[in-house]
Structure formats: C-alpha cells, structure tokens
Chain A
C-alpha cells in the first residue's frame, strides 16, 4: 500500500519568505510526526499529532514554526519569515496510533537562500 508522502520533494525559497510543507500519512494512521534533519545530523523531533490536536509541540524551535492537521489526516508544516538556518530536510512520519511504530516519508528538502 501507499506509504507516507511529502510534497514538495524539494523547495528553494528566499530568506524572509513563507513556506508550507505537506504530509500525507498512511491511510488510517491517527498519529503524525514532524522531524527536521540538518546535514550530517540525526532527525530532531518537532511536533506530533494524535488526531487533529497537537499532542506535543515542544520541539518547535520558535514561533515562526507552526503545524496543523485540521481533519486528522493531511498535515501542513508552516514556516514564516524563513531564515538560512531553517535549511534542512523535513521528515514526516505516521503511526497507527501514538506510541506505535513510526513510518517515515522521504522528506522535503528545504533550502533558504
């Protein structure tokens, strides 16, 4: 069956611009996670949803980052006033429910010029 999909696969933007990154979880998965992976490092937790609500957003680095999941399926990670330091691969994962095995998507590579 279809895995986690993320769009776009690559995004180039200019410093100060606004970007949205989309994640389509595996059908039927109620939990969804966002991570950020900088070059040469392991993924870093950002936020996770159980259903429509953010169960924990303690990993979001600052208030420029925001994520939504209005219908409990697709999620969008939103970054305002992008900075060069936001350049990274943004990974999305989903699981059947919270605490279950996380299945990762291929990521969106964001480059802020």
Chain B
C-alpha cells in the first residue's frame, strides 16, 4: 500500500535561512506527488505538484521540490524563508495513480525565528 513519511515533525529556522522539508513515499508505480501548506484557520493550499517530466518542480511562494526516484523522495525547498511561511506542510501522493485519492504524510510544522 502507498504511504508517505515526513520524518521531521517540527522544524525551526531563522528568517532568511534556507529550508528543506523531507518527504519519502512508498508507491509501486510513477507517483503523483504534491506539497500542501496549512495555515491556522485556513484550508490546505497547493504549493506544487509533480506528475511527470522535469524532476525539479517550481511552485508558488518561491518553493520548489525535487523528485528523486532512486531515493523515493520529494523534498521541498526554499532558499530564503519569510516569517509568513510559518505553517504546517504536508506531502501527499495520489494513491490511485492519478490526483484523486491523496495519501498524506503526518506533516511538518515549520516555525520561523525572527
């Protein structure tokens, strides 16, 4: 069965520092991969997605992610974090071979120090 692991429950970075959030997935075929962000009181917002093609994917708010099949990873990166990036981040895989039945990881809570 498909699964998603986000090894870091909490991460704290200083404003302006670079960020990498880890995501490992288990899926038998080529996965559909997603990163969502959830801010307090707001719904989940899609940051970026990977279906096929270029393994480096650009998203909104300056985020990017790289699909590495050999490592079963889809890590999220941002070169310079802003205080407004503090939120919970979820990695997800499309469990049905498309983008329908999303299986989410447990999330990583990002805190940003001034």
Contact surface of A with B, Cβ cutoff 8 Å: 3-4, 31, 33, 35, 40-45, 48, 55-56, 58-59, 91, 93, 95, 98-107
Are B44 and A104 within 8 A (Cβ)? yes
A-B contact pairs, 9 of them (CB 8 A): A4-B43, A43-B90, A56-B100, A58-B101, A98-B98, A98-B100, A103-B46, A104-B45, A105-B43
**How far is the CB of A71 from the nearest CB of chain B, in Å?**
21
Residues from chain B with a CB closer than 8 A to the CB of A45 are: 95, 101-103
With contacts A104-B45, A106-B42 taken as known, whether A42 is within 8 angstroms of B107 at the C-beta atoms is yes
CA distance A45 to B42 in the complex (A): 19
Are A56 and B101 within 8 A (Cβ)? yes
Are B43 and A31 within 8 A (Cβ)? no
Cβ-defined partner of B106 (8 Å) among A42, A48, A104: A42
| Interface SS, A side | loop
Cβ-defined partner of A106 (8 Å) among B43, B105, B106: B43
**Cβ of B41 under 8 Å from chain A:** yes
Number of interface residues of B (CB under 8 A): 23
With contacts A4-B43, A104-B45 taken as known, whether A44 is within 8 angstroms of B104 at the C-beta atoms is yes
Number of A-B contacts (CB under 8 A): 61
Are B102 and A3 within 8 A (Cβ)? no
Are A56 and B96 within 8 A (Cβ)? yes
Residues from chain A with a CB closer than 8 A to the CB of B36 are: 104
Residues 1-40 of B, flagged 1 when their CB comes within 8 A of A and 0 if not, give 0001000000000000000000000000000000010000
**How far is the CB of B79 from the nearest CB of chain A, in Å?**
25
9 nearest A-B residue pairs (beta carbon) = A42-B104, A104-B43, A104-B44, A99-B98, A99-B99, A45-B101, A106-B43, A43-B104, A42-B90
Most buried by B among A42, A105, A107: A42
Residues from chain A with a CB closer than 8 A to the CB of B46 are: 101-103
